[in-house]
Structure 1
Amino acid sequence: MSGATAPPVQPKAAAALLAAFTLVAMIVLAIAWEWWLAPLRPGGSLLVLKALPLLSALPGVWRRRLYTLQWASMLILLYFAEGVVRGWSDPGLSARLGWLQAALAVIFFASTLAYVGPFKRAAKLAAKRAANAAAATAHHDPR
């Protein structure tokens, strides 16, 4: 056994691409929703600023950075929660937009997990192999 080299990971490019396009869709939805489709106040509301955290994640998601995909997958749960709450409590178009946001959040979350999962499993396997190699070395130490 040669040590802690991780097995090669076959990235799921389709999952990363779906995550990026879903994130862009959520940014567009947030801006359109809060500026003109169904804002809380006529003429738009400051809730349009909810697009900023999504915008901050976009460069890293587009470049398929694992760290960004991981924290963005946790951030997106807030948008899922808002979508469900507004889907149930808002009237008319705003409710439909809330459900759309919740659906996009689920798609983003699932696609990020599909992309990041193989890397996490490979890292866990490499750590386990390293621990086993260290234990084997310590076991055969002739001191």
Structure 2
Amino acid sequence: MPSPMDTPEDSHLRKVDATRWAAVASLLALVAVLLVWELGLHRSWWAIKALPLCAPLAGLLKRRLYTYRWTSLLVWPWFAEGVVRCTTDASLASRAFAGAEVALTLALFIACSLHVRTRLSHKDPA
């Protein structure tokens, strides 16, 4: 909650930090869901599909604007896989993991998009 002494700069920095941590949290949660789903539920080597999602983590933590941009594009294959498996898998548990994958990819996309938009709407030096 903003205090009466907050400047527009303080408000902007809070929004940037919030979107940054939302992106990092949703990315880490997505990787965790994929690993638990494939290793725990299916005991499948398909857990390697989580590996490419680890690539943007360092850039997100270092606030690299370009990383937020390409990460928002990177998530769409996982979204598509989640939608397909949510509608076609026979197992209820698998459909639940697929639904979580869809929700987390959307959360990651939204967080990255808002982060880029917030930083570009304000002359952010970082």
The reply to whether TM is greater than 0.5 is: yes
- The one-letter amino acid paired with 2:61 is W
SS at match of 1:87: helix
1:15-49: CA deviation from partner (whole Å, max 9, x where unpaired): 11011001000111111111012x2xxxx222101
Seq. identity, %: 33
Q: Following TM superposition, where does structure 1 have runs of at least 4 consecutive aligned residues deviating by more than 2 angstroms?
A: 118-123
Q: Distance between the aligned counterparts of 1:79 and 1:108, measured in 2? A: 11
Q: 1:36 aligns with which of 37, 40, 44?
A: 40
| TM-score normalised by L of structure 1 | 0.71
Q: Which runs of 5+ in 1 are unaligned?
A: 1-7, 124-143
Q: Distance between the aligned counterparts of 2:118 and 2:62, measured in 1? A: 17
2:53: which partner in 1? Answer: 54
Q: Distance between the aligned counterparts of 1:47 and 1:112, measured in 2? A: 26
2:104: which partner in 1? Answer: 104
Instruction: Name the larger-Rg structure.
Output: 1
Q: Which runs of 5+ in 2 are unaligned?
A: 1-8
Task: Say yes or no: does 1:117 pair with 2:121.
Answer: no
| TM-score normalised by L of structure 2 | 0.80
